[in-house]
């Protein structure tokens, strides 16, 4: 065997890592598989953990990872219900995969017989045993609650299903100097404009890639974000400096459908390619922090707060439904902390 495959959790996601000596033919074949990515951290190619990929790399029998016939039918019914409620395809996939994981665990038990004790056993014998994250466990809870409260009558008491205790993780923030270095690292006008627009407007990656030229309103100096997370539209201010950059970019790249397009005209730029653009900028600047595109959004919010912008406006700009989500930035702002004098200085 010229390759070795194993299942692991990479960046909070179940993946199949494939290890082999450098081979152009193998690399070309792996690139043809949907969702295949190279990881510098793993020093391996990795793929989505699907039944098809497990068969492909001879990990285990696929039937072991399938729910019962009843379970398969119920997942399909759940999928149709979610689609009729107009949940996004990403949410639909997340919920159905989460429910599938739970029903595979209880494939030998009738769904109507599953109760709250079974949920606790699943948490202990699958989630905790496999060292899966609290956020993944929370996704399972969301899927179970929604499925059993809308699709299926069961012994489960929905209100008694508990969630994992949330860890209080602070958002990662870059300094203004670091952001400036990153945004100026690329000579390529498209790469520079994409990263600059994410920071200047506090955008999510998906929001940037879904934008079209018509969403830039230069007369009113705003950017219109359509159908963002939670299917909500919102507007954010357009920096005059960004407008100049966008005009230069438009003349050079001439996008047709989306504001930022990939190698195929009319198709949006790939999110993984955009992450790579940021990684290249980090290498060029010598910044060793494991920054992601979302760090630029966190930095935008924190820098606004430190400059005196009211938290309510920041909430609107970020598109947060709850002010509690936005309040987390008060814990990473250094404006007040820097004014505190340490007693060590008086020793």
State the Cα–Cα distance between residues 164 and 113, nearest whole angstrom.
Answer: 24
Is the per-residue pLDDT at 58 higher than 80?
A: no
Lowest mean per-residue pLDDT among 14-18, 165-169, 270-274, 310-314: 165-169
Q: Has residue 60 got a pLDDT over 60?
A: no
Question: Residues with Cβ < 8 Å from 324, sequence gap 6 or more?
Answer: none
**pLDDT computed for residue 344 by the predictor:** 66
* Contact indicator for 192, 284 with CB cutoff of 8 Å: no
CATH topology of domain 176-331: hpI Integrase; Chain A (1.10.443)
The active-site residue out of 229, 234, 279, 284 is 229
Confirm whether 331 is a catalytic residue: no
**Catalytic one among 56, 190, 204, 279?**
204
Q: Is the pLDDT of residue 63 over 60?
A: no
The top-scoring range by mean pLDDT among 32-41, 166-175, 224-233, 239-248 is 239-248
Structure tokens at 112: 């109507």
Question: Residue 24 pLDDT > 70, yes or no?
Answer: yes
Mean pLDDT of 68-92: 90
Give the C-alpha separation, 148 to 143, whole Å.
8
Phi-psi label, residue 226: left if phi above 0, alpha if psi -120 to 50, beta otherwise: beta
- CATH topology for 69-160 is DNA polymerase; domain 1 (1.10.150)
Please work out, in degrees rounded to the nearest 5, the angle formed at the alpha carbon of residue 65 by the alpha carbons of 49 and 43.
20
Residue 126 to residue 106: CA distance in whole angstroms = 11
The residue extents of the domains of the chain are 3-65, 69-160, 176-331
Q: Is the dihedral of CA 136, 141, 146, 147 positive or negative?
A: positive
Higher-confidence residue of 51 and 271: namely 271
State the pLDDT at residue 260: 95
Residue 15 among the catalytic residues: no
More confident residue, 58 or 95: 95
Task: Give yes or no: 229 in active site.
Answer: yes
162 is an active site residue = no
What's the pTM?
0.66
Among 163-172, 256-265, 297-306, the minimum mean pLDDT is found in 163-172
Q: Is 294 a catalytic residue?
A: yes
Residue 335's pLDDT is what? 66
The pLDDT mean for the chain works out to 87
Strand positions, DSSP E, 149-229: 216-217, 222-228
Per-residue model confidence (pLDDT) at position 332: 77
pLDDT at residue 328 is higher than 90: no
């Amino acid at each position: 065997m010229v390759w070795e495959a194993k299942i692991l959790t990479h960046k909070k996601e179940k993946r199949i890592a494939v290890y082999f000596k450098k081979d152009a033919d193998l690399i070309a074949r792996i690139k043809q598989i949907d969702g295949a990515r190279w990881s510098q951290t793993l020093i391996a190619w990795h793929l989505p953990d699907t039944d098809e990929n497990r068969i492909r790399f001879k990990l285990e029998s696929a039937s072991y990872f399938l729910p019962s016939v009843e379970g398969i039918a119920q997942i399909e019914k759940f999928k149709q219900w979610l689609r009729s409620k107009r949940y996004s395809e990403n949410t639909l996939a997340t919920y159905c995969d989460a429910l599938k994981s739970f029903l595979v665990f209880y494939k030998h038990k009738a769904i109507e017989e599953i109760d709250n004790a079974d949920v606790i056993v699943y948490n202990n014998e699958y989630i905790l045993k496999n060292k899966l994250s609290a956020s993944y466990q929370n996704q399972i809870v969301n899927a179970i609650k929604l499925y059993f409260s809308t699709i299926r009558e069961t012994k489960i008491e929905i209100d008694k299903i508990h969630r994992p205790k949330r860890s209080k993780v602070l958002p990662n923030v870059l300094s203004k100097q670091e952001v400036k270095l990153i945004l100026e690292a690329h000579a390529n006008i498209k790469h520079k404009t994409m990263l600059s627009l994410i920071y200047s407007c506090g955008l999510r990656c998906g929001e940037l890639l879904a934008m079209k030229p018509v969403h830039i309103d230069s007369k009113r100096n705003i950017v219109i974000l359509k159908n963002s997370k939670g299917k909500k539209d919102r507007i954010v201010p357009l920096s005059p400096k960004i407008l100049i950059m966008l005009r230069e970019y438009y003349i050079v790249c001439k996008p047709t459908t989306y504001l930022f397009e990939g190698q195929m005209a009319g198709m949006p730029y790939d999110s993984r390619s955009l992450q790579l653009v940021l990684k290249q900028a980090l290498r060029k600047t010598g910044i060793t922090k494991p920054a992601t595109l979302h760090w630029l959004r966190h930095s935008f919010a924190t820098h606004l707060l430190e400059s005196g912008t009211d938290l309510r406006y920041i909430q609107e700009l970020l598109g947060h439904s709850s002010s509690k989500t936005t309040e987390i930035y008060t814990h990473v702002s250094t404006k007040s902390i820097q004014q505190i004098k340490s007693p060590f200085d008086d020793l």
